[in-house]
């Protein structure tokens, strides 16, 4: 189904009893984010805030369920859309030798052509109201977390055009409000928007930019999709909604935007200007991304629908709304990956605790020795997969969404001498664990069932003997808190405080056993909370620096590197959480708006992880 703006989507959510309308005033400064965090982590409804202190109602949490995500892309289910894409790719990618076979492809190509965006004359619904003296304070823009540098537009679809090729891009880059007519433009170096900016900079010309908010929710999803550079995101949107997107020319620049958008912010970026300091921002990693220098976006005009709704989201400690967007991408883009790059891949999964790029689980149909390693190496160099930090490949008979089963296969099928490797390469710019910005360690684990040519590994997993562990850790027994999550797997977690003991002290112990995997975390981490534990391990570890092998034992330093003794080169970011005052305020509001049901703040379980200070550890 194609939606004519967010208002129609809101009506559909209401019909499905999947929307909570809040008439009570909730402050966009911190309070809406705290309430949304409670609903997204408790599988709650989408939230429509009517009283925002502006003339615009605000919609949040609209993607945070499989049902709502399917509704947003106009399909009954994500599986249906994934199957349709796979069927289409199979027809296009299958070699056609006979003329009759080539002719059979034509209807598919014709179908794709019918989804191409089209330009229309005149003004669109998004230009019903034209504000030539724009003021960004008229929008209910959120400040999400206490140490954020300000208020951020978090669901902007940023439209740019390459000045030479004419290629257009609709990407999603956060925008910090600097004043009534200026925002930061957070273009990462690897993104298409940044490439366009560099091209305009070489020409010495102003870069036109237009930002869309709302419209059909499929537009927002398409702006996040990992499409190859040069592919128009509105082709994907048209395919998913089964209706081409109508584009209308902006008022103050020559870019085109969907005519049924809710709000359009028009303007430009001047490459000759000095960059401005943007951030910090509580990011999707669960940590603050710290302040840095980015281009300034100048607003020339704001237009909007008569019935416009302001869409927004929050990111922070997972899972958030972006987790469901990631699930949709897994299903929709599996076919293009396996049919155009790695045909042996049968499934890909990125666990929520891995915040998309820290952990990728891959299932393959294995037919020859070394195939698992071949897939790992290929994925580390493929598109946005290049940002992955840990990639684990298993055989086709494994359920990669059953983490206990995956862990068991890792231990039963992996020889640390032959089936694991560590390298270095590009990382997401938000990765804080590496010594160097956007560059650091990566690890591949081939946990597939082995052919005889690959390994002589005949390891049988046996439980760890308690007396052996007690002997190993006896010298530090009063300084280390130990946790064995399973008696069937040789994994032990150790919680330490660096004021008492250092990671290197553990390397000096007498390991009379072998085959142990010891994972060291901060003593403040709740080792009974498996999700938070895994999130911390994946977030804080650089495989090239933090993994040691001693006498056949793997010892991993997954502690934060915020302690002075770590001598970490970069600032270590703090963890994202609400302050106590905001939590108490939302407790009182929820008692009114949610029938007395006060959902506990997710931030309450994070308080012990606060490093103190502001957005970076120990600093204001």
Put residue 76 in one of left, alpha, beta given phi > 0 → left and psi -120 to 50 → alpha. Answer: alpha
Please tell me what DSSP assigns to residue 310.
E
How many whole angstroms separate alpha carbon 517 and alpha carbon 527? Answer: 16
Return the H-helix or E-strand segment holding 260.
Answer: none
How many whole angstroms separate alpha carbon 212 and alpha carbon 226? Answer: 19
User: 556 with 546: CB under 8 angstroms?
Assistant: yes
Q: How many other C-beta atoms are found inside a 10 Å radius of the C-beta of residue 459?
A: 14
Distances (CA, A) of 116 to 18, 149, 241: 32, 39, 12
The answer, yes or no, to whether the previous bond of 280 is cis (omega within 30 of 0) is yes
How many whole angstroms separate alpha carbon 517 and alpha carbon 553? Answer: 6
Which pair of structure tokens corresponds to residue 90? Answer: 């199979």
Contacts of 151 by beta carbon, 8 Å cutoff, 6+ apart: 28, 29, 141, 142, 143, 176, 177
Q: What angle do CA 233, 272, 274 make, to 5 degrees?
A: 100
Contacts of 547 by beta carbon, 8 Å cutoff, 6+ apart: 422, 443, 541, 554, 555, 556, 557
Closest CA to 470 of 458, 480, 456, 457: 480
Please tell me what DSSP assigns to residue 549.
E
Put residue 306 in one of left, alpha, beta given phi > 0 → left and psi -120 to 50 → alpha. Answer: alpha
Contacts of 117 by beta carbon, 8 Å cutoff, 6+ apart: 232, 234, 235, 237, 238, 244, 245, 246, 247
Q: What angle do CA 318, 402, 338 make, to 5 degrees?
A: 85
Please tell me what DSSP assigns to residue 306.
T
* DSSP symbols for 57-105: -EEE-SSSSHHHHHHHTTSS-HHHHHHHHHHHHHHHHS---SHHHHHHH
Q: What is the crossing angle of helices 78-93 and 321-340, to 10°?
A: 20
Compute CA 573 distance to the chain's CA centroid, rounded to the nearest angstrom: 17
Q: Which candidate in 37, 262, 283, 522 is catalytic?
A: 283
- Identify the three-state secondary structure at position 530: helix
Contacts of 354 by beta carbon, 8 Å cutoff, 6+ apart: 360, 390, 534, 535, 538
- Identify the three-state secondary structure at position 292: strand
* Active-site residue, 283 included: yes
Compute CA 593 distance to the chain's CA centroid, rounded to the nearest angstrom: 30
Q: How many other C-beta atoms are found inside a 10 Å radius of the C-beta of residue 108?
A: 15
How many whole angstroms separate alpha carbon 237 and alpha carbon 246? Answer: 11
Any idea which residues carry the catalytic annotation? 283
């Amino acid at each position: 189904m194609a939606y004519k703006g967010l208002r129609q989507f809101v009506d559909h959510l209401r019909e499905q009893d999947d929307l909570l309308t809040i008439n009570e005033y909730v402050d966009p400064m911190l309070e809406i984010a705290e309430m949304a965090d409670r609903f997204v982590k408790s599988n709650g409804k989408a939230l429509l805030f009517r009283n925002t202190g502006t003339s615009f109602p605000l919609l949040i949490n609209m993607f945070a369920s499989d049902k709502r995500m399917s509704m947003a892309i106009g399909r009954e289910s994500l599986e249906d859309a994934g199957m349709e894409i796979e069927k289409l790719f199979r027809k296009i990618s299958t070699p056609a030798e006979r003329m009759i076979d080539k002719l059979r492809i034509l209807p598919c190509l014709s179908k794709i052509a019918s989804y191409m965006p089209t330009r229309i004359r005149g003004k669109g619904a998004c230009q019903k109201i034209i504000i030539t003296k724009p003021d960004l304070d008229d929008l209910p823009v959120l400040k999400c977390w206490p140490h954020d540098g300000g208020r951020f537009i978090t669901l902007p679809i940023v439209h740019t055009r390459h000045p030479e090729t004419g290629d257009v891009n609709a990407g999603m880059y956060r925008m910090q409000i600097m004043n009534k007519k200026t925002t930061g433009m957070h273009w990462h170096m690897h993104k298409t928007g940044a490439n366009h900016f560099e091209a305009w900079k070489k020409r010495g010309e102003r870069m036109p930019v237009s930002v869309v908010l709302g419209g059909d929710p499929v537009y927002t999803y398409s702006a996040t999709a990992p499409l190859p550079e040069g592919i128009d995101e509105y082709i994907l949107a048209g395919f998913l909604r089964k209706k081409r997107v109508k584009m209308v020319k902006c008022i103050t620049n020559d870019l085109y935007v969907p005519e049924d958008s809710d709000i359009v912010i028009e303007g430009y970026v001047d490459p000759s200007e000095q960059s401005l300091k943007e951030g910090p921002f509580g990011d999707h990693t669960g940590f603050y991304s710290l302040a840095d220098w980015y281009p300034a976006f100048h607003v020339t005009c704001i237009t909007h629908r008569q019935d416009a709704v302001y869409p927004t989201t929050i990111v922070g400690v997972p899972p958030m709304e972006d987790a469901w967007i990631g699930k949709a991408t897994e299903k929709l883009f599996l076919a293009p990956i396996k049919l155009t790059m790695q045909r042996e891949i049968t499934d890909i999964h990125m666990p929520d605790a891995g915040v998309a790029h820290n952990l990728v689980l891959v299932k393959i149909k294995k037919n020859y020795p070394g195939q698992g390693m071949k897939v790992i190496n290929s994925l580390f160099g493929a598109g946005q997969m290049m940002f992955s930090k840990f990639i684990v490949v298993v055989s086709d008979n494994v359920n990669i969404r059953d983490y206990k089963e995956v862990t068991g296969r890792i231990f039963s099928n992996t020889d640390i001498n032959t089936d694991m490797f560590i390298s270095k390469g590009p990382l997401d710019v938000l990765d804080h664990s590496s010594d160097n910005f956007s560059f650091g360690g990566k690890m591949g684990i081939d946990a597939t069932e082995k052919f005889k040519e690959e390994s002589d590994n005949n390891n049988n997993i046996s439980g760890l003997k308690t007396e052996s562990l007690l002997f190993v850790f006896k010298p530090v027994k009063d300084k280390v808190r130990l946790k064995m999550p399973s008696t069937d797997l040789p994994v032990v977690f150790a919680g330490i405080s660096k004021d008492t003991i250092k990671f290197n002290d553990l390397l000096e112990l007498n390991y009379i056993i072998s085959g142990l995997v010891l994972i060291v975390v901060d003593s403040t981490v709740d080792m009974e909370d498996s999700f938070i534990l895994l999130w911390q391990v994946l977030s804080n570890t650089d495989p090239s620096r933090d993994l040691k092998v001693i006498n056949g034992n793997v010892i991993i330093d997954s502690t934060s590197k915020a302690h002075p003794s770590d001598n970490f080169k970069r600032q270590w970011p703090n963890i994202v959480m609400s302050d106590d005052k905001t939590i108490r305020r939302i407790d009182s509001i929820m008692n009114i708006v949610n029938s007395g049901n006060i959902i506990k703040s997710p931030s309450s379980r994070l308080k012990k992880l606060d490093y103190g200070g502001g957005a970076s550890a120990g600093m204001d």
